[in-house]
Amino acid sequence: MSNYFKNFILFCFFAICIMFAIWLQSGQEKRINDWAVENKYTVVSIEKPWFSTGPFYTNDHQTIYKVTLRNFYEKEYIVWFRLPKGILQDEWLWDKEKHP
């Protein structure tokens, strides 16, 4: 096999991995948005903290999000979400400083 073909295969592999990671993250953010709509909140921002797990203990199979929500009265709240991969239930905790 030529060197160009090997590089092309390697490039395709990494591109597929990146697209898969983006697809997974967009699905998790959709779960957060669905929860917010169901509970009559508007999502202001969704952050994925790199070095903080908020109030949760976590492992490699869970993703932590810090979400800012706004209610009907324009009051903002912060909620921490732990979204597991697989069949486990989503969890959320209201921030102690800004909770309803």
pLDDT tens, residue by residue, 67-89: 999 998 888 999 888 887 665 66
What residue numbers bound the domain in which 11 lies?
3-94
For the chain, give the percent of residues with pLDDT over 70: 71
- What pLDDT score was predicted for residue 41? 92
99 falls within a domain? no
Predicted pLDDT at 42? 92
Is position 100 within any domain?
Answer: no
Torsion, Cα 69 93 30 34, to 10 degrees, reads -70
- Work out the mean pLDDT of the chain and round it to a whole number: 78
Q: Which of 22, 17, 27, 19 is nearest to 90 (CA)?
A: 27
- Residue 16 has, within 13 A of its CA and on its CB side, a CA count of 6
Domain count, the chain: 1
